[in-house]
Structure 1
Amino acid sequence: MIEEKGGSAQILERLMSSYGVNTQKDLAAALDIPANNISGWTQRDSVPGNAIIKCAIDTGADLQWLVYGKLANANYGTSTERPSGQVLYSEVMANGGRPVLRRILDAYGFSMQKQLCELLDISSGTVSTWVRRNYFPGDVVVTCALDTGVSLEWLATGKSKPFRNDSNILSEHSLIRKIPKRKLSAGKLTDDGFYYFDKYFLSNEIIDPVFIESASKSWFVDLGRKNISNGRWVIDIDGDLDVYDIARVPGNKINIVGKSSNFECNVSEVTPLGVVVQTLENNI
Structure 2
Amino acid sequence: MRLESAVAGDVLERILSAYGFTMQKDLSDKLGIAKSNVASWLQRGQVPGNVIVQCALDTGSDVNWLVTGELAKASSVTQGSDLKGKELYDEVMSNGGKPVLRRLMDAYGFTLQKQLCELLDISSGTVSTWVRRDYFPGDVVVACALDTGVSLKWLATGKGEPKISEPEAAPISRIPKFRFESGRLKDSGHWTADPSLFNTPTDNAEYIEGVKYSWLIDRSPNEIGSGRWFVIVDGAYDVFDISRLPGSKLRLTNNAISYECAIGDIEPYGVVLFTLEKNI
TM range (shorter): 0.3 to 0.5
After TM superposition, the score normalised by the length of structure 2 is 0.41
The structure with the largest alpha-carbon Rg is: 2
After TM superposition, the score normalised by the length of structure 1 is 0.40
